[in-house]
Structure 1
Amino acid sequence: MTDPQIGILMLGVFILSIFLGFPIAFTLMALGIAFGYFAYFEPGRMWRAYDRLVEQGAEGWEVWQAYLEGFLNNRIFDLFVNQTYSVMANEVLTAVPLFLFMGYIVERSNIVERLFSTLYIAARRVPGAMGVAALITCTLFATATGIVGAVVTLMGLLALPAMLNARYNNAFASGVICAGGTLGILIPPSIMLIVYAAATGTSIVRLYAGALFPGLLLAGLYISYIVIRSILQPSVAPKPTDDEVGDVPYSRLLLMILTSFVPLAVLILAVLGSILFGLATPTEAASAGALGGLALSAIYRALTWDKLRDSVYLTLKTTAMVCWLFVGSWTFSSVFSYLGGEHLITEFVVGLDLNTITFLILAQLIIFLLGWPLEWSEIIIIFVPIFLPLLDIFGVDPLFFGILVALNLQTSFLTPPMAMSAYYLKGIAPPSVNLVDIFRGCMPFLFFVLVAMVVLYVFPQIVFWLPDTVYG
């Protein structure tokens, strides 16, 4: 076998290992070291050391020790150590634990329940008011946390029972929460975009600017769907009775907004604005956001030792997972590239004689399929770098490609049979809500994700206008 063929074998073994259920980070490291040892192996070095000691009169253990040292003297071990140090010293990734901590501490600050109640009262005259309030709450909370499972689970506990009690259709209510919970991986400050920036070398500031309008576009499509369907099919979201709506004075509503919506919105806008306008680096903004999350938790009298300990533990756990994925991925991809696997894939794709649009469609289709068995972090860290050499060939800006990937990954959380949002929600939903209802509720929102992607294909300036205007 030639080296490129061995590289493809290496990729095939990795994909097979995923489906067999092996831990992905450690599988990447193991395959990278094993195949890398073969790639960098120099048998002459062992025998030269062995022959030199024999000529000098050495014998016994000294000879075999030299032989063993020669066997272990392989560049793959230096590569692995260097990659580990590079990941741990990466300044872009420093923002990840800080944003995670901000999300986890905000999740435990009891602000989400207040926010949902306030938004529902404010929008009570709008068709599908509770669904609109749930989606906006999901969007704000997902933006603050970036953790899909946490948003879907918490909103499932808070908003789903309220919607079901308001006679909302099971599938409709479930779809709202599942779709809203995934928006945090697209709308800045998104942790996914930080990981993409670190994996591809793209400017995180330009990524945030480029993702803002597509994220708002998708959220707007979701809200429009909720309102229009509630008008056309009132049975899925019945209008509340006068007794259910109640009469809340404007002064009290204003106070509720000031004490629930405004603090979280100010925290998000302060973090995002400081990054976009160059007032702080992402790491500095994430530090301020983490401090702001602690302050919010203290103001709402939710800052306890147990909650702080849980937030720190979950932050460390998730950060370690991301960092070790990076170590394994960079080791794997370095060996894969050294063996010529990337070159073989590039030649194959170029040989298909695709244009830019068909290449983008093919790439997004592959990522869509990868979203069934894999988490977004694994797709971004492992597979997206394989497409990077092809972007220059087809004239695709990595910024635009990254936003398309972030949009595409919404589908991985909503598409059966591996729709993780649906499984998160099913875990805490009442028995009356079955998995088929949740899948059925996700389908319309999946359609609007595809609509948003088509809109970006047709009008790419939605992505480029803000970063080009602000940063040139």
Structure 2
Amino acid sequence: MALGVGFGYYAYFDAGRMWRGYDRALESGGDAATLAQTWIGGFFNNRIFDLFVNQTYSVIQNDVLTAIPLFLFMGYIVERANIVDRLFSTLFNVTRRVPGSMAVAALVTCTLFATATGIVGAVVTLMGLLALPAMLKAKYDVRYATGVICAGGTLGILIPPSILLIVYAATSGISVVRMYAAALLPGLALAGFYLIYVVVRAILQPQLAPRPTKEDVGEHTPVQLAWMMLTSFAPLAFLILAVLGAILFGLATPSEAAAIGALGGLALAAAYRALTWQRLKESVYLTARTTAMVCWLFVGSATFASVFAYLGGQQFISDFVTGLDMSPLMFLILAQIIIFILGWPLEWTEIIVIFIPIFIPLLPHFGIDPLFFGILVAINLQTAFLSPPMAMSAYYLKGVSPPHVKLTDIFRGMMPYMLIVILCMVFIYLFPSIVYMLPNLLYGGQR
């Protein structure tokens, strides 16, 4: 899509400019055949088509993008390892005395599983099949139950290892390692805000989340609970921490760590006796399909940005924005509002690869760090999955929900989480050390 927009932009402006020159030359008495030949030659003999080739080649050569198929494969193979049902059941038993225990277990499971996969549709769909029926059976409020699944399922695009962060880093020229370090604490902070909301609302309105009975959870000794945690929570948590630790502590590049994660996902599936030829084939197919979509979008983004800048579009926007005499805070708010509105009809891929390259060159003028800007964008894009009318999380969940669960109920259940996302962005802006703490601690630098 971005490639088509870039070519259309060129065809409209540059070809139109040559056509107007051709008209003026005819009026001054030039030979029509010679001028037409010159015009056609000028159309094809220009740097635009060179940019198409060069940008495609340079993007495909980018080693950072190698991590995308490997992380995707890790996510898809873990999704098919049948450990999420054990994980949810274990966390429910461990948190059974906490208000809204089933919602808490669903949120923690969503966070962990979303971190391992980074695929919003897979997390929301699987948790909709697993956790939603259990919560509805326990007489949980429909809006309360659906909202927590939709919100928790989107955290994978913010918490590392995230495909969104890789694409943003490649687009903006930032180190993926620093991007991961900067995103970790804000991602956990947002998950913490969600968790606080779930528990506090269950305390204030206990009818939304009735406490489980002994028949619902059964009796488990501390030793049994410890064994359940060891066999369900620990393996997936260890895999995620191993991948992130290898990246953050410089033991491996993101691509090498992704390869470790893919191998670990295979080992985890084998350990749970879920590694079959059919599941492996499905995982490879889905990985290839999703990788092709993301990487070709990135090719289109690079081409569009190059054509846009070559024909003066970037300079025009830069002159227009700088002429408004905005403060850095005003520009930051305006940019985030635009991204928030774009999240209604578009998904994060289109926003990152088409619109972010327009904002990036403007950041130095306002003294805004691209790293900090990227974290705010990643938090803001949570709303792309939670804001009607194109809230994809709601449609994913509706597709696997019982018939009596209405789409309007899911939308209403997601609304509080959109407000929490906005509050989290304000919190990060007021306390930017949350973003810079880990990168400065691990890699140096002052901010």
> What secondary structure, in the 3-state scheme, does the structure 1 residue paired with 2:174 have?
coil
Once residues 67 and 365 of structure 1 are traced to their aligned partners in structure 2, the CA distance between those partners, rounded to angstroms, is 42
Say whether the 8 Å CA contact 1:148–1:181 is kept in structure 2: yes
Correspondences of 1:367-446 after superposition (within 5 Å):
367-446=339-418
1:99 shift after superposition: 0.4
Alignment of 1:51-450 (within 5 A): 72-450=44-422
| SS of aligned partner of 1:279 | coil
Corresponding residue of 1:27? 4
Work out the CA distance in 1 between the residues paired with 2:215 and 2:278: 40
1: CA distance, partners of 2:38 / 2:358: 39
Paired letter, 2:8:
L
Looking at structure 2, the residues matched to 70 and 353 of structure 1 have their Cα atoms a distance apart, in angstroms, of 39
How far apart in 1 are the matches of 2:46 and 2:357?
A: 25
- 1:289–1:401: structure 2 CA closer, same or farther, 3 Å change rule? same
Aligned length: 430
Correspondence list, 1:34-53, <5 A: 34=11, 38=15
Q: Compute the displacement of 1:42 (Å).
A: 12
Decide whether the 8 Å contact of 1:33 with 1:77 is kept in 2. Answer: no
One-letter amino acid of the structure 1 residue matched with residue 175 of structure 2: S
Give a deviation string over 1:226-253, Cα, whole Å, max 9, x none: 1111111001100112222321122221
Task: Kindly indicate whether the alpha-carbon contact (under 8 Å) linking 2:124 and 2:393 is maintained by their aligned counterparts in 1.
Answer: yes
Contact 2:2 2:304 survives alignment (8 Å): no
Q: In the alignment, residue 101 of structure 2 is paired with which amino acid? A: A
Contact 2:340 2:384 in 1 (8 A): yes
What is the deviation of 1:270?
Answer: 0.3
For 1:219, the aligned partner's letter is A
TM norm structure 2: 0.92
The answer for unaligned runs of 5 or more in structure 1 is 1-23, 45-63
Whole-Å Cα distance in 1 between the matches of residues 417 and 364 of structure 2? Answer: 32
Percent of matched pairs sharing the same residue: 68
The 1:263/1:40 distance shift into structure 2, 3 A limit, reads farther
**In 1: Cα distance, 2:266 partner to 2:14 partner:** 47
Distance 2:72 2:5 in 1: 24
SS in 2 for 1:427: helix
In the aligned structure 2, how far is the partner of 1:322 from the partner of 1:35?
27
Please tell me the residue identity of whatever aligns with 2:146: S
Aligned to 1:58: none
Preserved contact between residue 167 and residue 298 of structure 2 (Cα < 8 Å): no
| Cα separation, 2, equivalents of 1:42 and 1:285 | 53
Q: 1:108 to 1:351 in 2, by over 3 A?
A: same
> How much has 1:416 moved relative to structure 2?
1.4
Distance (Å, rounded) in 1 between the aligned partners of 2:55 and 2:231: 46
Relative to structure 1, the CA distance from residue 67 to residue 352 in structure 2 (aligned partners, 3 Å threshold; closer, same or farther) is closer
| Alignment partner, residue 471 of structure 1 | 443
Counterparts of 1:40 and 1:193, CA distance in 2? 38
Q: Distance in 1 between matches of 2:320 and 2:145?
A: 45
Paired residue type of 2:179: L
User: Deviation at 1:446?
Assistant: 1.0
Residue number in structure 1 paired with 2:25: none
Match of 2:32 in 1: none
Q: Partners in 1 of 2:418 and 2:327 — Cα distance?
A: 26
Change in 2 beyond 3 A, CA 1:343/1:39: farther
Q: CA deviation at 1:40?
A: 10
Change (3 A) 1:129 1:346: same
How far apart are residue 122 of structure 1 and its match? 0.6
Hey, what does 1:461 align to over in structure 2? 433
Q: 1:155 to 1:254 in 2, by over 3 A?
A: same
Structure 2 letter corresponding to 1:412 = A
CA drift of 1:438 comes to 0.3
Distance 1:459 1:67 in 2: 57
Question: Shift in Å at residue 468 of structure 1?
Answer: 1.0
CA distance in 1, matches of 2:415, 2:42: 58
Taking the aligned partners of 1:308 and 1:245, their CA distance within structure 2 comes to 34
Question: Aligned AA for 2:129?
Answer: L
Matched residue SS, 2:400: coil
Instruction: Identify the residue that residue 26 of structure 2 maps to in structure 1.
Output: none
Query: Secondary structure, in 3 states, of the residue corresponding to 2:315?
Result: helix
Q: Deviations over 1:390-410 (max 9, x none)?
A: 110111000000000000000
CA contact (8 A) 1:131 1:163 kept: yes
1:398-445: CA deviation from partner (whole Å, max 9, x where unpaired):
000000000000011111122111111111111111011101110111
The 3 A distance-change label for structure 1 pair 456 and 129 is: same
Q: Structure 2 CA distance, aligned partners of 1:305 and 1:224?
A: 42
Question: SS of the counterpart of 1:93?
Answer: helix
Q: What is the one-letter code of the residue matched to 2:328?
A: T
User: In 1, Cα distance between the equivalents of 2:260 and 2:17?
Assistant: 45
